[in-house]
Amino acid sequence: MSALEPTRALARYLVQARGEDLPAAVRHEAARALLNFMGCAIGASRHATTGRALAAVREFAGPPQATVLGRGERLDCLNAALVNGISAHVLDFDDTHAQAIHPSAPVWPALLACSEWRRVSGPELLNAFVLAVEAEERVGLSVFPEHYQAGWHITGTAGMFGAAAGVGRLLRLDEQRMAWALGIAATQASGLQEMFGSDCKSLHPGRAAQGGMTAALLAAAGFTSSERAIEAPRGFGHVLSTKFDPAVITEGLGSRYELLSNMYKPYACGLVVHAAIDGCIELSREHGLAPDAIEAVELTVSPLVPRLTGNPAPRTGLEGKFSVFHAVAAAMIHGAAGEAQFNDACVNDARVVALRARVSLKVDERIGRTEARVAIRTRDGRVFLAHVPHALGTLARPMSERDLEDKFRALAADVLPEPRIRNLIDLCWTVEKLDDAGALARAAAAPAPAPA
Amino acid sequence: MSALEPTRALARYLVQARGEDLPAAVRHEAARALLNFMGCAIGASRHATTGRALAAVREFAGPPQATVLGRGERLDCLNAALVNGISAHVLDFDDTHAQAIHPSAPVWPALLACSEWRRVSGPELLNAFVLAVEAEERVGLSVFPEHYQAGWHITGTAGMFGAAAGVGRLLRLDEQRMAWALGIAATQASGLQEMFGSDCKSLHPGRAAQGGMTAALLAAAGFTSSERAIEAPRGFGHVLSTKFDPAVITEGLGSRYELLSNMYKPYACGLVVHAAIDGCIELSREHGLAPDAIEAVELTVSPLVPRLTGNPAPRTGLEGKFSVFHAVAAAMIHGAAGEAQFNDACVNDARVVALRARVSLKVDERIGRTEARVAIRTRDGRVFLAHVPHALGTLARPMSERDLEDKFRALAADVLPEPRIRNLIDLCWTVEKLDDAGALARAAAAPAPAPA
């Protein structure tokens, strides 16, 4: 396979790889990614960003082929992929590959839309997802980190390849057309980091899902592209990056799976804060520490923590995500650090404000990015210590199935009634048994909320 | 205005510029661009590339809001913009700015779709087009030529800004939302030169039209973006080019119009061949030279001509476009060099093959890119000489209104019946008098051809 150029080698692999050859651990990771994705998309289904996107495209949408996850509307597949790709990313709570790229948000929206439109079995869906992740991660890593450092939002650029590959597989493209699909994806790849902090950040995976699916549909209709779109001198690798390593794309295809490097966030904020939150929740729970009983919380953290999350007095939910002081205070009071702990109300809650004033930081160069030490002193003079070598959700200490279910429940609680939540969790864990994978997205539909 | 940063300055200009302040020459040039665009899109309405794109998206399209030019189908605005942007460029016969960018193909499809969906007057449409061209040309030229040399297809990347600006103006966005529309365009900008030679080359203006219109619609719905998308360190100018000159965007806004540098092609092949075609047609016509009477044709041309179009024995219409020998032979026999002279039949026509064998080239470094000398010797020993200092269609020697009408007629002849052709030409010339500019696209609809 390594004798082939990367676009061709990748196309061949995507067309030939058999679902029955996937290791069980990879298939299971795909189900975990699915549950996590569903929670993120459903949890943001009524977010203002999602609402704006839906309002903008609704009037132009085609037949009701696919569900807007967590909502009552149905749109044509391409518009549903766009909106669901936006909602999946808007909370910044979706999965992350250990090196780069949020793999699920650009891919699942396209695959799920496709599954409602054409008959797709559960095993076919899982296989397409695994292959899509291989495509996007390998293309992304082939230009990483220079591509990212140049200012590209790699989830948008590389994600386009994932959606094209996954939908192309569901459409059973031949090798020639799969190569075209990858090329049509390459020539649509876009997304600037300058958009971080605006609605456009989540537009990127939305556009990747929509554009990648369009690429596969165009290729299926015989729409031609360069067949060397990734490696050619004026192709993706060289135009969008100063580094391009084709071996990253071709080596170990079918034996090494990038999906096994996938991580899920237990907390709705940046990864660098997670270990401190872990330690604080652990000590509070274990010793039943009431917030009022706490005199001081001292965190020993990596230098990244104050640099990225050093805001001592956030005023909004979004600012709260960039305040380690808020994050640990809210986590100790609520025993969690989900979306509910990063809304405006929680950030301005007097109990949280009071506790976060008693949190202090000590920086230690030797502390890793996902590590923390926590010392809590109570008013009665006791001191409790915790060392978190690896935050929950890292590869060294992955979220358990139960953790993922709890996260899903918290995200879906205000959107879906309990029986539907239970049902959707079951469907995700048993996706391999589904004859009709369209059941997944249909089960994620919710009636529109009553007008306020 | 120059005190403002370019994204803000451009947004303000796009929102405030008044149609009544446009010089008459600029308004007239917009009408010329419209007629030329219409001919290209209609002429390619049954091209295989257009057909593939339409086949791919049709099943997902929304309400029949907008015409697929030259066809019977109606699609939602966004899909119509995509398909019409593709057809407008697929023949490589659309307009060209003197320095860079094909300005019409990414812009008119979005504006015309919008005009069928919302009530837009002729003057509003013209003004929006002029502003759209300013936006795309100025953004494009601010990074030119380094951006192009890096491998970007500038018609795709810069064109996205044009469609966003033009539709944004028709939607009457305020300055804030116009800045967001430009940002949403920036973060979708894409299109690789590697795609030249495949269907994807024309996908670029199609995606620009569709993506730019989407940008304006999202911004209208309050979807936010960076407000420094063009000039920020991780914005369009710096990420997609090693050169970025903000002054190109802001200087002379409202007093200098890029549209006045617009050029139209009389012949359906690369510009470097045009002067030779001019000279050959001129001598053949003037002296009534029958092909059989011609013993030899000697062309004195720039070194670019053999380099780009040196194929002495083309076998297909597409190869014919890269053969100066074919181009002048066909032009002498048919008195024209339109699409009909670059199809497979004409390239393999025995008379054309015989004549092109008697064409020879002489290279002269001093000859310009759009210049040629022609010497024709007849079998009876006469010699006719022509010097073409500037090819027809260049800024020094623009196509006349009559030339543009003839080009339109030739392109539309197989698609629209004569009364509709006449009507559409009239509508283009009198666009400023239209209360409802939607009449333009509606007049370009054609019944589906009878099945072969």
- Comparing CB atoms, the residue among B52, B78, B204 nearest residue A223 is B52
Inform me whether the pLDDT recorded for A305 exceeds 70. Answer: yes
Q: If contacts are CB pairs under 8 Å, which of residues 234-253 in chain A contact chain B?
A: 234-236, 238-239
pLDDT single digits (tens) A3-32: 799 999 999 999 999 999 999 999 999 999
Q: How far is B90 from chain A (nearest CA, A)?
A: 12
> What's residue B100's pLDDT?
82
* Alpha carbon distance B352, B342 (integer Å): 11
Work out the average pLDDT over B300-312: 94
* Alpha carbon distance B405, B32 (integer Å): 9
Confidence band for B1, pLDDT divided at 50, 70 and 90: very low
What percentage of residues in chain A have a pLDDT greater than 70? 98
> What's residue B270's pLDDT?
86
* Alpha carbon distance A289, A177 (integer Å): 61
Q: If contacts are CB pairs under 8 Å, which of residues 202-221 in chain B contact chain A?
A: 203-204, 207, 214, 217-218, 220-221
> How many angstroms from the chain centroid is the CA of residue B28?
17
Burial (CB count <10 Å: 0-12, 13-18, 19+), residue B5: middle
Inform me whether the pLDDT recorded for B7 exceeds 50. Answer: yes
Contact A189 B186 (CB under 8 A): no
The residue in chain B having the minimum alpha-carbon distance to the alpha carbon of residue A80 is B60
Structure tokens at B72: 């019977």
Check if the beta carbon of residue B270 is closer than 8 Å to that of residue B308: yes
| Helix and strand counts by DSSP (H, E) for chain A | 21, 8
Work out the average pLDDT over A312-320: 92
Task: Let me know the angle formed at the C-alpha of A372 by A367 and A376, rounded to the nearest 5 degrees.
Answer: 135
* Alpha carbon distance A393, B136 (integer Å): 45
> What's residue A100's pLDDT?
82
> What's residue B449's pLDDT?
60
Beta strand segments in B1-42, E: none
Burial (CB count <10 Å: 0-12, 13-18, 19+), residue B55: middle
pTM: 0.95
Check if the beta carbon of residue B337 is closer than 8 Å to that of residue B331: yes
pLDDT single digits (tens) B313-336: 999 998 999 899 999 999 999 999
The residue in chain A having the minimum alpha-carbon distance to the alpha carbon of residue B181 is A200
ipTM above 0.85, yes or no: yes
> What's residue A3's pLDDT?
77
Q: Does A425 reach chain B within 8 Å, measured CB to CB? A: no
pLDDT single digits (tens) A174-206: 999 999 999 999 999 999 999 998 999 999 999
Q: Measuring CA to CA, which residue among B251, B26, B240, B228 is closest to residue B123?
A: B26
Q: If contacts are CB pairs under 8 Å, which of residues 77-106 in chain A contact chain B?
A: 77-79
Inform me whether the pLDDT recorded for A448 exceeds 90. Answer: no
The residue in chain A having the minimum alpha-carbon distance to the alpha carbon of residue B150 is A239
Inform me whether the pLDDT recorded for B292 exceeds 90. Answer: yes
Q: Does A174 reach chain B within 8 Å, measured CB to CB? A: no
* Alpha carbon distance A327, A6 (integer Å): 44
What is the residue-averaged pLDDT of chain A?
96
Check if the beta carbon of residue B241 is closer than 8 Å to that of residue B295: no
Instruction: Spell out the domains of chain A, with CATH numbers in brackets.
Output: 6-264+420-443 (1.10.4100.10), 271-388 (3.30.1330.120)
> What's residue A315's pLDDT?
94
Q: If contacts are CB pairs under 8 Å, which of residues 129-168 in chain B contact chain A?
A: 150-153, 156
The residue in chain B having the minimum alpha-carbon distance to the alpha carbon of residue A207 is B188
> What's residue B448's pLDDT?
64
Q: What are phi and psi of B376, to 5 degrees?
A: -115, 125
- Comparing CB atoms, the residue among B63, B214, B234 nearest residue A192 is B234
